[in-house]
Amino acid sequence: MVNGLHWKRPSVLPGFGLCMGFMLLYMGLLVLIPLGGLVLFTATRLSAAELWDRAIADPRVLASYRLSFGASLIAATLNAGFGLVVAWVLVRYTFPGKRLVDAMVDLPFALPTAVSGIALTTLYAHTGWIGRWFDPLGIQVAYAWPGIVIALTLIGMPFVVRTVQPALEDLEPELEEAAASLGATRWQTFRRVILPAVLPALLTGFAMALARAVGEFGSVYFIAGNMPYRTEIAPLLILIRLEQFDYVGATAIGVVMLVVAFALLLVINLLQWWSRRFQT
């Protein structure tokens, strides 16, 4: 207080107006203008009927959508189950090499996706270390949809583990002990105590893994085989359209993927809002 007046120390950080201006400039140059240009390009080159025929009703495009979204859904579901187990082990147990395992969870974040695709193809091809055991059984992993699911599971796993870990750390072990003292079985304790507490975080991780898998390209490119109508994902079909100089067709498919991405991001934000409301 100076001369009876309250004196407010100036903040080290810039004010709201300057920060907002930088944010809008940054988001506009990197996100809004490119994506807006994509939509505008499609709107000026294609009518609604042409967009439907080239980006939705085309059999080859539909097959790529079914594979991309179907494999992504399977991979995200697998990650929801196994990611919960991995997070549980990392939070609740101490064992030799725990820090190494914890660091390996983030490896798909840092590893180039093309490298992971090549590694998975080498392992799961019919002559690979793992694929050779499936080949006599008539099960093809590489160059088929199971290989795509494995690749998408790899790149989506960290999202589930890192989202569920904080929820498990906040869950006090005393709650499980209280449930056990009241006669609850392990399954009842999991279903009525643990799962409700981590379900919002688990659903958020599931949605994030799903969104990441839908747009994945690098790790799938090598292991998929890229056969039309069978192992051709939607991002690869966009690349093929560009190589054929069909820029309008590639952009139309890109707009559909953009709409799906926005829908998934909306679901993720709703789940995060629900998670915060659930915790409070």
pLDDT in tens, 198-221: 888 898 899 889 888 988 888 898
| 172-182 average pLDDT score | 78
Of 11-25, 119-133, 156-170, 248-262, the range with the lowest mean pLDDT is 11-25
Distance in angstroms (rounded) separating the CA atoms of residues 61 and 48: 17
DSSP bridge pairs for 32: none
In this predicted structure, what is the pLDDT of residue 156? Answer: 92
What mean pLDDT value characterizes the chain? Answer: 84
Report the share of the chain in percent with pLDDT over 90: 21
For the chain, the first-to-last Cα distance in angstroms comes to: 37
| 151-179 average pLDDT score | 87
In this predicted structure, what is the pLDDT of residue 22? Answer: 82
Distance in angstroms (rounded) separating the CA atoms of residues 133 and 266: 42
Model confidence at 84, pLDDT cuts 50, 70, 90, reads very high
| pLDDT of 15 above 80 | no
In this predicted structure, what is the pLDDT of residue 275? Answer: 65
Distance in angstroms (rounded) separating the CA atoms of residues 215 and 212: 6
The full set of domains in the chain, from first to last, is 13-45 (no CATH), 58-279 (1.10.3720.10)
Could you tell me the CA-to-CA distances from 117 to 67, 113, 224, 244 in Å, in that order?
17, 6, 9, 25
Residue with tokens 């590639």: 250
Could you tell me the CA-to-CA distances from 97 to 6, 34, 87, 160 in Å, in that order?
56, 44, 15, 21
What's the pTM value of the predicted model, to 2 decimals?
0.82
Distance in angstroms (rounded) separating the CA atoms of residues 189 and 226: 45
Distance in angstroms (rounded) separating the CA atoms of residues 74 and 78: 6
In this predicted structure, what is the pLDDT of residue 7? Answer: 52
Q: Which amino acid is at 72?
A: S
Report the share of the chain in percent with pLDDT over 70: 91
In this predicted structure, what is the pLDDT of residue 56? Answer: 78
In this predicted structure, what is the pLDDT of residue 155? Answer: 92
In this predicted structure, what is the pLDDT of residue 9? Answer: 57
| pLDDT of 2 above 60 | no
| pLDDT of 174 above 80 | no
| pLDDT of 152 above 90 | yes
| 117-145 average pLDDT score | 89
In this predicted structure, what is the pLDDT of residue 148? Answer: 93
Of 68-77, 89-98, 246-255, the range with the lowest mean pLDDT is 246-255
DSSP bridge pairs for 43: none
